[in-house]
Structure 1
Amino acid sequence: MIQAFGLTSNPRKGLPPVVDDVSFEARAGRVTALLGGEGVGKTTVLRLMLELQHGRGATYFRGRPLHRIDHPSREVGVLLGDVPGHPARTVRGHLRMLCAAAGVPVRRADEVLEVVGLVSLRDERLGTLARGMDRRLGLACALLPDPHTLVLDEPFDALSARESNWLYGTLRAHASQGGTVLLTVTDPKEAAATADQVVTLEQGRIVADQEAADFARTRLRPRVAVRSPHATRLAALLTKEARTAHRSVEVVREDGNRLSVYGSTCADIGETAFRHSVLVHQLADEVGDMGPGAGAGSDTGAGIGTDSRRSGREEIHSGSELPGAPAASVSNLIPTATPRGAVPAQEAAPAREGDAAVRETVPSHDDHDISDTGALPTHGAQAPGRASGGTEGAGVPRPTGRVDPVVSSPLPPPSRPAPHPLPSTPHPTPTTPRSHDALPDLPPPISVRPAPSPLRPLRYELRRAAGIGTGFLTAGAVLVVSALTAVVMARIGHTPQARLLAAWPRELPLPPAAIGAGLLGALAFGDEFRHPALAADRGTVPRRLGLLTAKLLVSAATALFLAALTVGCDAEVLYLVYGREVAQVPEGWLSLGASWFALVVGCAWAGVLAAGIFRSTTAGLAAVVAVPVVVVPLVQKVWEGPSVRTAAGFPMRVREVLLAQWPFGGERYLDAAAKVIAQPVGSALTLSLTALLCAYLLTSVRSRVR
């Protein structure tokens, strides 16, 4: 269950808040729709619920706020916009990386791929997926940790009818097992056809919180869609006959040759057209929007303030049915705005009463498209974490074939009676039989939750780094540039052997290997914020110490490998071009090698920490370059500046104090480390890493406090 209390966004520049005091409940075993036009604050509500945006109010997921849940992804599956992932990563690689982050078995990726129908596209890149396939992948990412709750923002946006039906069936199957589904929609008919509960939002406030049956009865009404090349003449005839018969009929002239007739039937309109020899191309029952806010701001469902878009609108009322009567008493007679586009009869909205679903045959040119309701296939045992509300997942039907998009109770028992029609009413609301192909079962529940493992972030980081070719291309570019630089330096001469093998000219602040290692380190966190696979929104990458440790370990290993490979390639190229005397190993190679590896690893760590703090790859690389350009001169100036007393001989005294008592010759290694740190670049890099680490820890603490 989701419980939202007083959600209010922070106002900006004197403007009223986008969302103001929004409170509602989304119960388990049900699909809840948050309905509203563009710009009314639906997405803001979701962001406030998920703590992605600052504001007031509280949201509880099964009694706990999101920041109090140890593993939020296992409780709430989120889909906001496009799938956040690197466009060069494969579908299967992306899911396997998320498996490592969530601590679920890697086979889970193949299970959800089979469920969402992406097995044939598992080797496709994320950047090449179409909109419908991207929606499927987003749902796969949400279902991967087997969450209890699904929170989806406009999941049906830009989907075809077939894909919408598939997505509807999957969401209904999740709810039928006791899960909670909350989604945002813009079209009132889509809300009535999809949800069990509809929460209507206008100008950042809730104006209605209704069961789907009540919503369909009070906010939608039937109409007849007519297409005729003589639409103007037919409208005049219908108006004249309605006035003569003292019937309340509203005729709305839509774009082109289309009419929307309220208060009449297909039979009456057809007879009128036949008597006056008017050619009719379409005659079908539909539903139209009704009342303030019913689809406001939507092209498919016009609401309040949309009457100005009509042309040729005519209204006729009998003497006892006054236009000014209260909406509650003459709700089916009030002229309201209607959608501009034609909607087929099969896309009408549903009507529900209690726990019973209503199906009414709608006249249409495609009568063969309307079939009986199919049973929902069982899914087996109930998934852990979906037992909220005391519901059982075993034996609960799931959609196969044609499905009625209505489940009014939180979770219907297996012995639920068959659907029965409601008593006849003067203005019945037509229903919408959704249809889609047979769906595979949801992925099996994860019965055993693995305990937190220190290797989980390490596995994630390894899959993240190896899943795309950026690291390999960077390493290749570093080797080529380093080899060419070494050849040019050897040709010029007057270069020490150590700098020659490292390809480090005195004119450059850092060698190519150190810059490349810093770039790879910056990408480790920069890609997290640019393509936030671990979060639903930019800037919400978790700052846990386990993730930082994994990135530092992987970047250090990568830097060591790159440093060794660079020296080896430079030596080999110099041997091939100039001979053995240029590629000789310099004296004191042990201390020089330690300094070299420490420099490259330090640059990689500086890139990781700076990118994690400033949330940018560019900032991480800039921090690496700033060490020799800015920090080294400052350290030298402070160290050698005029003062009464100086710290000359400080490294030697440290070695005398700390290294005298070390057994087994350990003082030699510490002495080598002290020499590295005592160098200008080493001391500056040590100072920079210390400052960056403290800043990262401070930002981590602040994010947890919030």
Structure 2
Amino acid sequence: MLQAIGLTSTPRRDRPPAVDDLTFEAPPGTVTALLGPAGAGKTTALRLMLQLEPGRGITYFRGRPLHRVAHPAREVGVLLGDVPGHPSRTLRSQLRMLCAAAGVPGARADDMLRVVGLTGVHDQRIGTLPRGMDRRLGLASALLGDPHTLLLDEPAAGLSVRESAWLYDILRTHADEGGTVLYTTADPKDAARNADRVVTLDAGRLRADQDAAEFARTRLRPRVAVRTPHAARLAAVLTQESRAARRPVEVVTEGGNRLSVYGSDCASVGESAFRNGVLIHQLADETGDTRPTPQPPAPPVPDPSASNAFASNASASIATVSDPSAPDAPAGDSGPAGGEARSARPAQTPGRAPRSHRAPRRSPLRPLRYEVRRLLGVPSTPLVAAGVLMVSVTLAVLLARSGRTPLPAVLAGWPAVSPLPPAALGAGLLGAFSFGEEYRYPALTTGRGAVPRRLGLLLAKLTVSAAVGAFLAVLVVVADLEALRFVYGGELVPVPPNWPTLCANWFGLVVGCAWAGLLGAGVFRAAAAGVAAVLAVPVVFAPPLQRVLAGVPGRTVAGLPARLREFASIEWSSAADRWVMGALRVVGQPVGVALGLTLTVLLCAYVLTGRHSRARW
């Protein structure tokens, strides 16, 4: 049961709200159409239900508001507009990433691709999909978590008659299993044909809430569809008889051998044709739609191995996913929730809620798996790493040629004219992509809140970006060292005596830049802002800090470890004293101070701007 109560959007400037005090229900076991012309507020109403739009009112999903649902993907499946996701990501990579976010096994992605007939094109990029395949991928994304409620915005817009019939068959099967389906449409005939209930909106307000039969009777013009080889003759006969009987009958020629007769019925038209010897090929009552009923189609996928959406049998894959004893399936995970996947389940009476599922175990690995799959699913990650490696090796070879550059700068590929080495810039760019992609291609938006600011997701991004930064730091030093040996000879490069401090400085710089890019993009919602935050550390903040620190009277911290030991009453060895002093020297560098202050400010800004988010992992 979906209950929308008092939904009202926040008005913009002096304009009235797009949705004004909207209240209605979408019962389980039915398909409900939210009908209205363009600008009626249909999409805004869906966004208000999902807490993606500022406004008033509340929506209950089986008695709970969305922010009280522990696992939104298990309760609500959403398709708003085109499928959100990076255009360079493949279909399979996109679904596996969403599987990690929903807490379902990655194998569910292959099952859902099979259900919607996209198995043969699983390696195709999202940005190259035609409209029909985009709708299929969107439906697979909405059904990943086996939700009870489906919310879809204009799901059949731009689809052919055959593709629309396939889509509505999936929605009808979901409702017949006891689920709730709510979709928007601007076509009254579409609502009358495919919905059980029709909720009509006009200028953001509720105008009618009717079942489909009543809607067709009161809002659409009933007519008699006639197909005859003597259309002109029959039209003249019907017009003449209606005038003689003074009945308000209107006869419209649809072209060729088709007629639409308004204000009459099949019996009257058939009797008139019989009396006048007119041959009839078709005679049927219709409600405002003269198109022939489309037959259930096969999915138009150019792959002979892809299963037909109406004839394929996904029982084996469903059993694998829904079996609680499977090694990688969380408890209570059910099979794919759509089309023939649902038909493999035990039949349920329409109107009854589907069988309850135990919630998956909450695990800190869920956001971590999501972030890893997000990072590795796009070509930008290996391209940035390869670019960093090539530029760093080139700079290291050129810097070593003069023999005057210090060894640490040579191994880092860091010329004096550059504010940061290539590894730090690359790590900052990858960190900026972490949140930049979330806002540009918001795959996590639907059903979970407008901003992906959950603590679990932030910790996962910080962990993964730190690991990527450390990997780039090691990779660059090793590659530069091998390049120097290859170009200038095989002599061993001498190890500096202060190598622990140098390593700490190097890792701290690269990882800190990765975090600065990540938090900058998270606060300002753009990858460019994350890159700007990285460059601001050495260009804007470090020079004035260096001048300030140079003007401060020199004070030694040589005795600080001993004073800390005395204050904390903790005994540690002299080696620990050296590590503490090394860490203090690293943090005390101007760039280190600037980077630490930048990260602190960005983290506080991120937390403060994200306090309104109520969604959870």
Question: Which residue identity lines up with residue 96 of structure 2 in the other structure?
Answer: R
Residues 367-412 of structure 1: per-residue CA shift (max 9 Å, x gap): xxxxxxx9xx9999xx99xxxxxxxxxxxxx988xx9xxxxx9528
User: Quick one: higher RCO (CA 8 Å, sep 6+), 1 or 2?
Assistant: 2
Q: Is the 8 A contact 2:178 2:352 kept in 1?
A: no
Report 1:645-684 matches (<5 A): 646=552, 648-649=554-555, 651-652=557-558, 654-658=560-564, 662-664=571-573, 665-684=575-594
Task: Tell me which of 460, 481, 485 is aligned to 1:571.
Answer: 481
Q: Distance in 2 between matches of 1:228 and 1:143?
A: 45
Aligned-residue RMSD, C-alpha: 3.7
Deviation at 1:346, TM superposition (A): 2.2
The residue number in structure 2 matching 1:205 is 205
Q: Distance in 1 between matches of 2:120 and 2:226?
A: 43
* CA distance 1:399–1:14, change in 2 (3 Å): closer
Deviation at 1:231, TM superposition (A): 8.8
- Please state whether the residue corresponding to 1:702 is helix, strand or coil: coil
The residue number in structure 2 matching 1:170 is 170
Greater C-alpha radius of gyration: 1
Deviation at 1:539, TM superposition (A): 8.3
Deviation at 1:483, TM superposition (A): 1.1
The residue number in structure 2 matching 1:344 is 291
The residue number in structure 2 matching 1:56 is 56
Give the percent of matched residue pairs that are identical in Structure 1 and Structure 2: 59
The residue number in structure 2 matching 1:28 is 28
Q: Distance in 1 between matches of 2:256 and 2:450?
A: 48
Q: Distance in 1 between matches of 2:107 and 2:86?
A: 21
Deviation at 1:112, TM superposition (A): 2.3
Question: Which residue identity lines up with residue 595 of structure 2 in the other structure?
Answer: L
The residue number in structure 2 matching 1:70 is 70
The residue number in structure 2 matching 1:621 is 531
Q: Is the 8 A contact 2:371 2:464 kept in 1?
A: yes
Q: Which runs of 5+ in 1 are unaligned?
A: 290-338, 349-373, 385-397, 404-408, 414-443
The residue number in structure 2 matching 1:287 is 286
Q: Distance in 2 between matches of 1:688 and 1:137?
A: 41
More displaced 10-residue stretch of structure 1: 103-112 or 33-42: 103-112
Deviation at 1:276, TM superposition (A): 10
Question: Which residue identity lines up with residue 143 of structure 1 in the other structure?
Answer: L
The residue number in structure 1 matching 2:390 is 480
More displaced 10-residue stretch of structure 1: 683-692 or 259-268: 259-268
Q: Is the 8 A contact 1:286 1:345 kept in 2?
A: no
Q: Distance in 1 between matches of 2:447 and 2:144?
A: 18
Q: Distance in 2 between matches of 1:629 and 1:263?
A: 79
Question: Which residue identity lines up with residue 129 of structure 1 in the other structure?
Answer: L
Q: Distance in 1 between matches of 2:352 and 2:502?
A: 73
* CA distance 1:110–1:594, change in 2 (3 Å): same
Residues 477-524 of structure 1: per-residue CA shift (max 9 Å, x gap): 001011111222223442111111111111110011100010111111
* CA distance 1:255–1:599, change in 2 (3 Å): farther
* CA distance 1:537–1:632, change in 2 (3 Å): farther
Question: Which residue identity lines up with residue 512 of structure 2 in the other structure?
Answer: G
Greater per-residue helix proportion:
2
Question: Which residue identity lines up with residue 411 of structure 1 in the other structure?
Answer: G
The residue number in structure 1 matching 2:307 is none
* CA distance 1:496–1:657, change in 2 (3 Å): same
Q: Distance in 2 between matches of 1:7 and 1:270?
A: 49
Q: Distance in 1 between matches of 2:244 and 2:112?
A: 62
Q: Is the 8 A contact 2:171 2:339 kept in 1?
A: no
Deviation at 1:130, TM superposition (A): 2.4
Report 1:184-199 matches (<5 A): 184-199=184-199
* CA distance 1:63–1:479, change in 2 (3 Å): same
Q: Does 1:450 align with 2:375?
A: no
Q: Distance in 2 between matches of 1:695 and 1:689?
A: 10
State the aligned residue count.
Answer: 572
* CA distance 1:488–1:227, change in 2 (3 Å): farther
- Please state whether the residue corresponding to 1:78 is helix, strand or coil: strand
Deviation at 1:251, TM superposition (A): 3.9
Q: Distance in 1 between matches of 2:258 and 2:439?
A: 49
Q: Is the 8 A contact 2:501 2:582 kept in 1?
A: yes
Q: Distance in 2 between matches of 1:217 and 1:133?
A: 35
Q: Is the 8 A contact 2:67 2:615 kept in 1?
A: no
Q: Which runs of 5+ in 2 are unaligned?
A: 296-310, 324-337, 344-348
Report 1:217-256 matches (<5 A): 217-224=217-224, 239-252=239-252
More displaced 10-residue stretch of structure 1: 547-556 or 62-71: 62-71
Task: Tell me which of 407, 414, 428 is aligned to 1:497.
Answer: 407
Question: Which residue identity lines up with residue 563 of structure 2 in the other structure?
Answer: V
Report 1:358-437 matches (<5 A): 411=351
Q: Is the 8 A contact 2:99 2:105 kept in 1?
A: yes
Deviation at 1:667, TM superposition (A): 2.2
Q: Distance in 2 between matches of 1:256 and 1:21?
A: 48
* CA distance 1:460–1:681, change in 2 (3 Å): same
